[in-house]
A and B are shown apart, each in its own frame.
Chain A
Amino acid sequence: MSYWKEVINGGWSLVEGMRVTFRRLYRPVVTVQYPRQKVELSPAYRGHIEFVKFKETGTHKCVACGQCQRMCPSNLIKVQGIKERAKGRKVGTQYFIDFTRCSLCGLCVEVCPTKTLKFSREYELEGVSRWDGVIDLMARLGETRP
């Protein structure tokens, strides 16, 4: 007796399950066809780091203090600067990051004393060699990007 009861109850449970699936057929599609459609990035999105271009000076404020270089857990930042005048501040001249090793923790952005680093909004970063992951932030600053 209980066998037949289970068969009927079990069969009904499958029908109930199929009903859920069937109802879903008429719901709007939730997936996004990526290359053709793009989702909106969150305001806090973390891409690789880049320089902030300050309006007053039209350039970055990097003083090549090297704090980001020391704070980076993966040692992937290379920053160099020169002193233009003997008593003046240092100015950053070279800034390279090896993005292939970056874990996007954001410690460099937090530690920067002049707040000249920020996260970019790039996420399409395909390349054919490991050197494509090395990003020259100084060169990026010169280019005009949307």
Chain B
Amino acid sequence: MAEQFLEPVVENVYTLNLGPQHPSTHGVLRVVLDLDGEFIVRTDPVIGYGHRGHEKMGENRLYKQFMPNTSRMDYLSGMLYNHGYVLAVEKLAGIEVPERAKYIRVICSELNRISSHLLWFGTYVMDLGGFTPFLYAFDDREQILDILDRVSGSRLTYSYCRFGGVCQDLDSVFIDMTRAFLKRLRSRWSDYENLVTKNIIFIHRTRDVGVISLEQARQFGVTGPNLRACGVAFDMRRAEPYEVYDRLDFEIPVGTKGDALDRYYVRMIEMEQSCRIIEQALDQLPGGAFLNPKVPDRLRPPKGDLYFGFESARGQTGYYIVSDGSTMPYRLHVRVPSFGNLHVLVEAFQGTLLADAISTMGSVDLVIPEIDR
């Protein structure tokens, strides 16, 4: 600790603590910035304020008992994390899943992806100073929460998936609500476009701001929409299809320059693609069981380890589970996308204005509890 205070004072450099409590860090993230006037010369992200030890918790509870923890890592896409965890354990233990459950999971995951992107859209525009789109985005997001609330019983931390299926079946009301919502969301694109996408102030604050080159993205392990904005069409749903994604037709939007505007475009198009996925999945939804009843409460997967990667709302997320044949995992590690997405900012911030740094940080869609976990 003492060395920190004894660092030589650099001439003409002002050190600014962005966070831990700052509205645009969306959580407890501290970024230490060295400023030369208004320009950033050094960035040092400090993480760990929200550390709760989820990985360690996984080691002393049953596979089933870790379920509520998964949605609390990335609280904005809890369903996706839940989904990935059950997929990983099912693969490790060799559990069969009914067809209907696969479709149900895909529908709910994609709804959650839209809700996560809508929240990002609202808060990002609010970071840039526009308050109105935030309210509209939350209005739409509220519909998704109501839909997911109907089947899962909660609005944010779902714990909806189970090993071998889901805990509750979809009913016709859910399907009607989802179809009505998709129709409504599509009618909103023009509003969003007029309000934000075409807005001159927004374009000037995002175009050529926070450019992440493909080389940097590769070095730091950037995934998800941030990587796709650099021009790489890499999506775990397409690269290593899980569930029924190989049967569904959707496009992977890519950007060209990798600036904040590209990241914005990619996410907006991704929401439309998620709508397409949900529509197709609803059309193809088969009947039958929604849960495999043969799965025991105290699951004992065979000895071995497994890494399972899937596409969460922010990029490639993965569960690495080591099983020693007992009822609890020997080791459970989570690969989170926001970690790479945050640390690439060290290079992306170099030489930019402080105001642009806020715009960049908002555009990569960080969720801090996911990094700290």
Residues on A facing B (Cβ under 8 Å): 6, 9-11, 13-14, 16-17, 19-21, 24, 30, 42-46, 71, 73, 103-107, 110-111, 119
Contact = CB atoms under 8 A, between A and B. Distances in A.
Contacts of A11: 200
Interface stretch (B101-109, B148-156, B216-224, B305-313): B148-156
A25 to B, nearest CB: 11
Contact of B297 (A19, A45, A111): A111
A110 B153 CA distance: 14
B200 A71 contact: no
B194 A17 contact: yes
B64 interface: yes
Contacts of B154: 46, 104
B159 A105 contact: yes
A6 B195 contact: no
B297 A46 contact: no
Given A16-B195, A20-B195, A103-B68, 13 more contacts: A13-B198, A13-B199, A14-B199, A42-B146, A42-B153, A71-B297, A73-B66, A104-B68, A105-B67, A105-B68, A106-B153, A107-B67, A111-B297
A16 B192 CA distance: 11
B68 A110 contact: no
A73 B191 contact: no
A20 B194 contact: yes
Contacts of B194: 13, 16-17, 19-20
A100 to B, nearest CB: 15
B38 interface: no
12 contacts: A13-B199, A20-B191, A42-B146, A42-B149, A44-B151, A45-B149, A73-B65, A73-B66, A103-B159, A105-B65, A105-B68, A110-B167
B56 interface: no
Contact of B132 (A16, A21, A43, A103): A21
B168 interface: yes
Main secondary structure of the interface of B (DSSP, over half): helix
B61 to A, nearest CB: 6
B246 interface: no
A44 B297 contact: no
A71 B65 contact: yes
B240 interface: no
Name the residue in B67, B146, B195, B201 with the highest tally of chain A Cβ atoms < 10 Å from its Cβ.
B195
B96 interface: no
Given A71-B297, A106-B167, A17 B153 contact: no
B198 A103 contact: no
Interface string B210-232: 00000000000000000000000
Name the residue in A10, A17, A103, A119 with the highest tally of chain B Cβ atoms < 10 Å from its Cβ.
A17
Contacts of A43: 150
Q: Which 5 A-B pairs have the closest CB atoms?
A: A10-B200, A44-B153, A73-B65, A46-B153, A105-B68
Contacts of A30: 139, 142
Given A13-B200, A21-B132, A45-B149, A73 B61 contact: yes
B152 A14 contact: no
A17 B167 contact: no
Name the residue in A14, A19, A20 with the highest tally of chain B Cβ atoms < 10 Å from its Cβ.
A20
A44 B67 contact: no
Contacts of B297: 71, 111
Nearest to A45: B153
B316 interface: no
Contacts of A71: 62, 64-65, 297
B157 interface: yes
B79 to A, nearest CB: 14
Nearest to A119: B153
A103 B142 CA distance: 22
Nearest to B66: A73
A45 B191 CA distance: 33
B149 A44 contact: yes
B200 A6 contact: yes
A44 B150 contact: yes
Interface string B193-210: 011101111000000000
A71 B125 CA distance: 43
A119 B238 CA distance: 39
Contacts of B66: 73
Contacts of B62: 71
Nearest to A43: B150
B167 A21 contact: no
Interface in B63-79: 64-69, 72
Contacts of B72: 103
Contacts of B201: 10, 14
